[in-house]
Amino acid sequence: MKTALVQYSPEWENIEKNIEKIERLLSGISSPLDLIVFPEMTLTGFTMNQKDFGEDIDGASFRYFMDLSNRLKTDVICGIIEKEGSNYYNSSVHFSKGLIAAVYRKIHLFSHSKENNYYAKGKDPVVTKVGGIKTGMSVCYDLRFPELYRLLRKEGSEILIDIANWPVDRIEHWRVLLRTRAIENQSYVIGVNRTGNDPFYKYNGYSSVYDPMGNLITESKDEEKVLIADLDSDEVRKTRDTFKFGEDICLI
């Protein structure tokens, strides 16, 4: 499965400019893709101005990514501030060839930045299918909580995806945790982070892909770049058949 990780520096709260940036980044890709993954809150940055940027299905972000996935005949996973009634969610949305395939609402809200004061907490883990492969969805701070990923593995996920705005100060945690989630779940792990600055934090990327043994497949620091990785679900099955760690789990 040919997968693109779009690591870029979004203009703060500027949806139109960020769409232009993404179009320029993707214009350099000539071969077909099966999946494109973007950072958390893809078109706004990690904003607490949820009332200004929250969207329902008719919003600008939803419309853009529906169109993008339809134009490129591919699957897209991105971050959108989702509005439902009076609640706002930091969501990861899976689009498949122009349609919404799944929506995951971030369960673990980052209290250190008061995210929990602005967004409602998601309740349910979400496993979607990309090209027939079960894929577990997560957002940024979720990465620190292995229980979520164990549930995603239990539901058959062979790929785990975390989209993030993870700052420089704690970037080594990001790198270690991505690799750990791959090793402990014998899954591919895709982490897509942003670069650049917002009014509060500095970011240096380190978007990356790890294989089911925890080996690094690709990684990029600092630069705006589209990383390409080929994922083979047979590698997941081979790893799990060889090392049957999943069968030895004892829940306490």
Positions marked catalytic: 40, 106, 140
Instruction: Answer positive or negative: Cα dihedral of 206, 5, 136, 59.
Output: positive
User: Which residue is listed with tokens 């500027």?
Assistant: 14
Per DSSP, what are the bridge partners of residue 179? none
User: Rounded distance, CA 210 to CA 219, Å?
Assistant: 9
DSSP string, 190-208: EEE--EEE-SS-EEEEEEE
Map residue 9 onto helix, strand or coil.
Answer: coil
Cα 195 to Cα 35, 78, 131, 167, 223, distances in angstroms? 21, 16, 29, 9, 7
User: Rounded distance, CA 194 to CA 221, Å?
Assistant: 10
User: Rounded distance, CA 243 to CA 66, Å?
Assistant: 39
**Nearest residue to 59 via CA among 31, 77, 81:** 81
**Nearest residue to 2 via CA among 27, 22, 31, 25:** 31
Element at 188 (helix H, strand E): strand 188-192
Provide the angle, in degrees to the nearest 10, between the axes of the packed helices 60-71 and 15-27: 10
8 Å CB contact between 26 and 50: no
Q: State the Rg of the chain over Cα.
A: 17
